[in-house]
Each structure stands twice: as structure tokens, then as C-alpha cells.
Amino acid sequence: MSAHPVDEKLPAVKMATTGLQHVAAMYAGVVAPPLIVGAAIGLSATDLTFLTGACLFTAGLATFLQTLGIWKIGARLPFVNGVTFAGVAPMTAIVASTDDKSDALPIIFGAVIVAGLLGFIAAPFFSKMVRFFPPVVTGTVITLIGISLLPVAFGWAQGPNPAADDYGSSTNLTLAAITLLLVLLLRRFTRGFVKQIAVLLGLLGGTLIAIPFGVTDFAPVADASVIGFPTPFHFGAPQLQLAAIISMCVVMVVSMTESTADMLALGEIVDRPADERTIAAGLRADTLGSAISPLFNGFMCSAFAQNIGLVAMTRIRSRYVVAAGGGFLVLMGLCPMAASLIAVVPRPVLGGAGVVLFGSVAASGIQTLVRAGLEKDNNVLIVAVSLAVGIIPISAPEFYHSFPETARIVLDSGISTGCVVAVLLNLVFNHLGKDHDAADVTHPMEAGEELTGSPHPSPATP
């Protein structure tokens, strides 16, 4: 009996190149939080490089936990873990409220350790939420994940620094478009292994094309050290501060909600649906990885949704490929020069590839929604309202500006809010009073008419 594609071990070269694709897709997301937090603290260039390398190293360890697993820890799916961006706002708030900035990182690390341990204990209870995720909910959440990630790709396409004069320039947008075109051409006119690593080849080609435009910067490679190790407690022993712990616990709840949605999405894509046991194991890996991360000077870890798009597009479902990507992350953490090679890829080039990756996630969500029974107006309403709520942070970023900072941690995550709304609406419309409206298949905007098979269909709108 052949192994499931998730458990398939590919040839070494294929494993390495496809694993490197995953690193390229998530690299910017891993290094952004330490750069932002480090800049807020005022770290020196040396310490900032150290902090970034530590986050790469701990992301690799967390990815090992998730893909390979030990005991009841790890979803054992092609699931990439790294620093969650949800923690950036609270961490910078902690920095701002700390008088002695040298204490900021120890306070953050202490809060993350406590939040991680509490999350580990809560994982089996949190995983019971899986029963509240039928296809109408999972399809909505998967679609939201893709939609929420697309602005990241559009931001990358414009350039690395919004304050720079060339941000959104025709040069940057052209490079993004060329990279997108390269990926599409490779996917359309090649086959086999070359087709599967189209994103990596597109990134390589886009980087080479960017050289004459002066966008490719090789300085990080020249300045980087060959060997470095994230010495434990480099910035000091963890400190426990109640306000910081509460703040990071809220982030942990948000992170666990998004990870649950991501595992359900990935389970659908790789044809190994994530059940309660899988989600519990995956959440244990998330939370344990987060608890361990500060020991090596890293931040809270969570699932990286952008890599789900890569799995969906390439159809390479092996968890060992992602584990190989985790190996690259560990090596980058130990070898700053290796880490700097990925940093050479210009942000607009990443943006062009990101359009394909993140759009693929949204497309996978739509495929799931097709199976969700959208001929029933109840389900149409669930999808409509959940998508609308989930898109608020994207379309109106200041919508929740008057809410407390703690509440905004949750509300500013469209994936989390959309997920919660979809679960609640599914309970209200498809469970409460089920016998009363089970046969109700009317259009939500036109009572009394059916969506399909109606003898009096509504006239087509232009």
C-alpha cells in the first residue's frame, strides 16, 4: 500500500528545492516582526541581526515540531511555523510602556513563555472547535485567508519601504509583473519537476532581471557572518509582568484560532481532513514552539498561511518537504550569510510571486464553498456576512480605531473575526431551530424565490 502524499519522501534534490520555495515564501514574514520590534527598542545593527537570526532558527524548530512531530505534538501536515505578526502591535506597546528599553525583550520573552505554556494546556480543549467547522465555515475561512494575504503581496510589489521615494514606482510594479508572468509561463508551458518549482524559478529569474534596475542589494551577503548561534537568554533572563502576560495570552488565543482555521484549510487541500486529534496536536506544536522560542531569543510562533498557497499551487503535499524548509531555517539561524541570500530577493519580486501564492489560497476556499450547499440561502448569508466582516480590516483599516488596544488585537485580524462570525452564524442558521427552516432555500434578498430550479427566476443583472 503506497503512502499518503503527505507522508511521501521525495528525492533529495527535489526535497531541497521545493523546501527552499517554502522558505522564500515565508522569509519576509519571519524577519519583519523582529525588525519592527528591534527598531522600536533601538537595537544596534549587530543585535538586530542577532534577533532576526534567532527568529529564523526558532521558526525552523517550530516547523520541525509541526511537520515531524513527537508524541502527541505536531499536526504532521506540510505546515510551516514562524513568528506571528499578530504579536507585533502588543510587543511594540510593551516596548513603549517600558522605561528601561533593555528590559523590553526580557519582559516580552517572559510573557510569550507563559502564554505558550497556557496555550499548550488548553490545546485539547480548543481543538474541540472542529465540530463547528463544516464546509460552509471552512470554505469561508480559507477564502478569507487568501484575501487577507493578498494586500501583503501588493505591498511587497510596491517596495520594501512605504516612506521611500520609489515606493509603488513603475520600476517596482514592472518587476512584480515580470515575476508574476514568469511564474505563469513556467506553470503553463513546463511540466514535471520544473513546473512544481515554478515559484522558486520565478523568484530567481525576477531577482536576476532586477539587477540592472539597481533594486537587488547584495550588501546583506557581504556584511553577514558565516557562523552564528542564538545564545540562550542573550538579551537577559525572562521577566514576568502581568500586563504583558495578559496581552500575549490574547495574542495566543488569536493565533490558535487562526492556526485551527489554517489546519482545516490545509487538510482540505492535501486531502487529509484535520480532525480533532490532528488540531490538538497541531496546536500543541504551535504553543510549545512559542514557549521554547524565547529561550533562543525568538518570539511567538504560529502557522504561516502563505505557505498553504504554495502547497495548493504546486500540489506537493509531502510534510517532509516542509521539514526540509525548516532545516533551511535552522541553518539560516546558524549561518547569517545563508540567511542573507534570501534577503537578496527584491520585495517587488516577492510580491509578484505572492499574487499567485495567496490567490491560490482564496481559490481553494472557493472550491470548498462549492461543496458547501450554497443553494440554501442560510449558507449564502453565512458566507456573505462572514466575508464582509473579515474584509473590514483590509478595506477599512481604521474601522475599529475607537476600541481598546486589547480588543483590536482580535478585531484587526480579519481571519479571526470572520472565522468567529462564520461559526456563530452557522450555529444560528443551521443548528438552532433546524427543523423549522431546513427546507428554506430562498434567495436572501428575494424572499419566496429559489436560487436554483425556480419556475420564476429573477431577471439576470448586468
352 is written with which cell numbers?
509578484
> What average pLDDT does this structure show over 275-290?
91
Eight-class DSSP state of 457: P
| 207 part of a folded domain | yes
Would you state the pLDDT for residue 15? 87
| 358 part of a folded domain | yes
Q: What angle do CA 349, 354, 357 make, to 5 degrees?
A: 140
Report residue 151: phi and psi, to 5°. Answer: -60, -30
| 60 part of a folded domain | yes
| 308 part of a folded domain | yes
> What average pLDDT does this structure show over 291-308?
86
| 45 part of a folded domain | yes
| 228 part of a folded domain | yes
Give tens-digit pLDDT for 4-46: 888 888 888 888 888 888 887 777 677 767 877 887 787 776 7
Q: Which residues pair with 83 in a beta bridge?
A: 301
Give tens-digit pLDDT for 69-78: 888 898 898 8
pTM for the predicted model, two decimal places:
0.66
The model's confidence at residue 134, banded by pLDDT at 50, 70 and 90, is confident
| 457 part of a folded domain | no
> 218 Cβ partners below 8 Å, 6+ apart?
344
Specify the amino acid at residue 294. Answer: P
Give tens-digit pLDDT for 182-201: 989 988 888 766 776 777 78
**Rounded to an integer, what distance in angstroms lies between the CA atom of residue 183 and that of residue 181?**
5
**Rounded to an integer, what distance in angstroms lies between the CA atom of residue 400 and that of residue 356?**
30
Tell me the residue range of the domain where 249 lies: 5-429
Q: Is residue 284 pLDDT above 90, yes or no?
A: yes
Most confident residue range from 53-67, 206-220, 236-250, 296-310:
53-67
Range in 30-34, 232-236, 298-302 the model is least confident about:
30-34
Angle between helix 104-126 and 12-41 (nearest 10): 130
Number of structural domains in the chain:
1
Which is nearest to 287 in space by CA: 92, 81, 29, 105?
81
> What average pLDDT does this structure show over 371-395?
87
**Rounded to an integer, what distance in angstroms lies between the CA atom of residue 82 and that of residue 162?**
24
End-to-end CA distance of the chain: 53
> What average pLDDT does this structure show over 207-212?
90
Which is nearest to 372 in space by CA: 358, 388, 360, 386?
386
CA–centroid distance for 291 within its chain: 19
Would you state the pLDDT for residue 83? 85
- Average pLDDT of the residues of the chain: 81
| 450 part of a folded domain | no
